[in-house]
Amino acid sequence: MSEPAESDGAARRGRGRRPAGEDTRATLLEAAREVFGEVGYANATVRAIAARAGVDAAMVNHWFGGKQALFSATIQMPPEALATFERELGQDPAVVPDRMVRAFLTVWDEHNAAFRALMRGATSQEEAAARLRDMLSALIFRRIAAICADDRPQLRAALCATQMVGLGLMRYVIRLEPIHTASVDALTALISPTMRRYITGPLD
């Protein structure tokens, strides 16, 4: 049993600094996730986010164009997370049911602050909920359509989404034991049979 890393920021700061521009952008994103989480979208100011990041407020406009665009960026799946997910899932659709849980946990154990920001946004802003719907469709619908057992890929993908997002919510947000600290191997073994039935099994 290992505790997931507490935040992207802590892990990132531990790895040393990146090139200045990218670093400023990433630092602003981390600060924005914290401030939006603490005071909500309406009450968060560009000035407060810039202060938290230790940069001039003009940097927010330079890198993101404004508060709404910065918020949008905080609720997107980080590009490196998307790459990890695609790599873990592989190219063969037939292995998707067995690999989906491990790919999901591998990504979000690494980026759990981003997952919390996404959930916080999705429960309070329709824009974030719509983005999560789009993300789920883009990431899993296509793959499931290629292998599912009947002509209901959207239903099957949506059932997978209920299980996967619920798993993430309990592991990273609600921190319900033993889900919060269980190993990726253990959770993969426990939950993959559910994914297999939702994707390729009989449903009725």
- Does 158 help bind a copy of itself (rule: CB under 8 A)? yes
Nearer Cβ to a copy of itself, position 2 or 91?
Answer: 2
- Residue 13 burial (CB count, 10 A): 12
Is the link from the previous residue into 178 a cis peptide, with omega within 30 of 0? yes
Q: Is 1 in the site for a copy of itself (CB under 8 A)?
A: no
Contact by Cβ (8 Å): 112, 4: yes
When asked if residue 154 is in the footprint of a copy of itself (CB under 8 A), the reply is yes
> Which residues have C-beta within 8 Å of that of residue 48, sequence separation ≥ 6?
35, 39
* Residue choice 145, 169, 184, 200 for contact with a copy of itself (CB under 8 A): 169
Distance CA 131, CA 193 (A): 28
Give me the 131-150 binding string for a copy of itself, x by CB under 8 A, dash otherwise: -xx--x--------------
Q: Is 178 in the site for a copy of itself (CB under 8 A)?
A: yes
Closest CA to 23 of 61, 63, 52: 63
Residue 111 · residue 81 · CB < 8 Å: yes
Residue in 58, 166, 181, 185 binding a copy of itself, rule: CB under 8 A: 166
Closest separation in Å from C-beta 154 to a copy of itself:
7
**The token pair that represents 184 in the structure block:** 């990726």
Q: How far is the CB of 152 from a copy of itself (least distance, A)?
A: 9
d(CA 182, CA 162): 20
Q: How many CA atoms lie within 13 A of 43 on its CB side?
A: 7
Cβ-contact 97, 196 below 8 angstroms? yes
Of 95 and 189, CB closest to a copy of itself: 189
48 binds a copy of itself (CB under 8 A): no
Span near a copy of itself by CB under 8 A; candidates 11-19, 71-79, 81-89, 122-130: 122-130
* Residues lying near a copy of itself in the complex (CB under 8 A): 37-43, 116, 119-120, 122-124, 129, 132-133, 136, 154-155, 158-159, 161-167, 169-170, 173-179, 189-191, 193-194, 197, 203-204
